[in-house]
Amino acid sequence: MVQDYKVFINGNWIQTDDKIDVVNKYTQQTYVKIAKAGEKEVDEATEAAQSAFKDKQMPPYKRYQILKRVSELLQENKDTLAENLSIEAGKPLKQARTEVDRATQTFELSAEEAKRIHGEGVPVDAAPGSENRMAYTLKVPVGVIGAITPFNFPINLVAHKIAPAIAAGNAVVLKPASKTPVSALKLAELFQEAGLPDGFLNVIVGSGSEVGQQMMEDKRINAYTFTGSAEIGLKLKQNTGLNKLILELGNNSPVIVDKEADIDKAADNIAQKSFAFAGQVCISVQRIYVHEDVKDEFQEKLVHAVKGLKVGDPMDPETDVGPMISEEEAERAEEWVNEAVHHGAEVIEGAKREGALLHPTLLTNVEKNMKVVCEEVFAPVATIIPFSDLKNCIDELNESRYGLQGGIFTKNLETAFYAARHVEVGGLMINDSSQYRVDLMPYGGVKNSGWGKEGPKYVIEDLTEERLVVFNLDSEK
């Protein structure tokens, strides 16, 4: 049966005339219809956030209690949330369950951070002529946060937007991805149950070009936080004036397999980390640079590990690789593979498509200007690139426009330190692949991969302002 959802504004569930259909990504059947926010709803959501921020400020312990309660509710509702995630995103059930666990962490960490936001004393009396002055800083919330999220982690990336913002005392207007908005509305239900005062969270569903555009133009929004493609990230940068802006964008993650690596470990790890959620993870391994001395051994072991991945129905608890977000996206990735093959690339595994299901695909003999190498493929496609000299390899992989995370497998400390100093990324994993993230760590990219760090402790720096308070004391006393 098709379920109905409404948008969430000022603590109320609002029906509208237009609807957005959300399809089961495996069966392609509509399973939810959601009220589509128009101009009026976007306006009301922003108004509600602004008045909540002005009139209903909560002390830190209250924010802690609410966020902590949401983290508990996430665990109490884990099975239903994971099932919904699997249906709305096509995410294999075991990965969906992990996502709910991670969101639980994100809320718990944010709750804890709510109690740790503080300024510091500033010794202004150390400056000549300021002997009678005393100063300290306050960390104050920014105000209304406009958050826009992508389809690939519909719970945890929404959690990373909302939970630290509320921990810091802000109010939020959230626009989730149109393909996967149900999880965000379910999170709003949990917030309501946890007792969040009306207006602090507003969830409006609608297309990026309409709702997103209106949000960018609304002067009542004080800061924007966006996770998604570099293309839309650039639009935000060009359209949000002097407002604060946090951008978490794409990548074409590199991983190096050095000649002194544990090849079994590297092959098993990379097989998992290239194809989880059909490669639609911003830190999915896309470019595998392998030392030529170990290439044949590594390639054989990698192909063996990839053949062991179970492809199919995301609701099957054994499935490792499910469908992509849409058939069009799978066709687009298949075209990129075909284009590479046309120019000389060799398929060593996969390159088979059934509707939205693209089988894990490995390519070799690739050139650095092929889309599967230099663009973000965002699909279950990885490329193997041999190298003979580590310095040249790192120079070449740094030619990418992106720089979110990377990895290197090596037992050689000198090599590991060299990579740590020279690979241009926001995070480098040693003896692990690029796709490593826990929710407390600073996470964010350089170059076209974005600006600013997520991780509750780190993003709160951007979601608060530092206000200096200086006392001019009576020097006679």
Residue 142 binds ligand NAP, judged by CB under 6 A: no
Residue 88 binds ligand NAP, judged by CB under 6 A: no
Question: Closer to ligand NAP at the Cβ: 92 or 444?
Answer: 444
193 counts as catalytic: no
Q: Which two tokens stand for residue 249?
A: 């964008």
Binding characters for ligand NAP, 396-415, by CB under 6 A (x = yes)? --------x-----------
Contact 347, 382 (CB under 8 A): no
* Binding residue for ligand NAP, selected from 86, 95, 104, 152, defined by CB under 6 A: 152
- What residues form DSSP beta bridges with 469? 136
Element (H, E) at 188: helix 182-194
- What residues form DSSP beta bridges with 428? 406
Residue 130: closest CA among 467, 472, 476: 472
- Segment contacting ligand NAP (CB under 6 A): 222-230, 258-266, 335-343, 465-473? 222-230
Contact 299, 290 (CB under 8 A): yes
* Binding residue for ligand NAP, selected from 190, 232, 288, 459, defined by CB under 6 A: 232
Kindly determine how many residues on this chain lie close enough to bind ligand NAP according to the rule CB under 6 A.
30
- What residues form DSSP beta bridges with 171? 144
Of 44, 108, 113, 282, catalytic: 282
Taking CB under 6 A as the criterion, which residues in 263-292 touch ligand NAP?
282
Taking CB under 6 A as the criterion, which residues in 371-390 touch ligand NAP?
376, 378
Contacts of 186 (CB under 8 A, 6+ apart): 77, 81, 84, 155
Q: Which two tokens stand for residue 218?
A: 């609304």
Closest CB 20 distance from ligand NAP, rounded Å: 9
Q: Which two tokens stand for residue 394?
A: 């790192």
Residue 191 binds ligand NAP, judged by CB under 6 A: no
Tell me the backbone φ, ψ of residue 287, rounded to 5 degrees.
-115, 115
* Binding residue for ligand NAP, selected from 89, 114, 172, 177, defined by CB under 6 A: 177
Contact 105, 153 (CB under 8 A): no
Residue 221 binds ligand NAP, judged by CB under 6 A: no
282 counts as catalytic: yes
Residue 208 binds ligand NAP, judged by CB under 6 A: yes
Contact 33, 5 (CB under 8 A): yes
Residue 228 binds ligand NAP, judged by CB under 6 A: yes
Closest CB 270 distance from ligand NAP, rounded Å: 18
Of the chain, the end-to-end C-alpha distance in Å amounts to 77
Contacts of 67 (CB under 8 A, 6+ apart): 107, 108, 110, 111, 114, 163, 166, 167, 194
Question: Closer to ligand NAP at the Cβ: 250 or 407?
Answer: 250
Closest CB 135 distance from ligand NAP, rounded Å: 37
* Binding residue for ligand NAP, selected from 143, 450, 455, 456, defined by CB under 6 A: 450
Contact 368, 374 (CB under 8 A): yes
Residue 323 binds ligand NAP, judged by CB under 6 A: no
Of 108, 113, 248, 329, catalytic: 248
Residue 454: closest CA among 46, 102, 100: 102
Question: Closer to ligand NAP at the Cβ: 108 or 248?
Answer: 248
Residue 248 binds ligand NAP, judged by CB under 6 A: yes
Q: Is 455 exposed, middle or buried (0-12, 13-18, 19+ CB in 10 A)?
A: buried
Contacts of 106 (CB under 8 A, 6+ apart): 156, 159, 160, 163, 439, 456
Active site residues: 248, 282
Contact set with ligand NAP (CB under 6 A): 148-152, 157, 175, 177-179, 207-209, 212-213, 227-229, 232, 235, 248-251, 282, 376, 378, 404, 445, 450
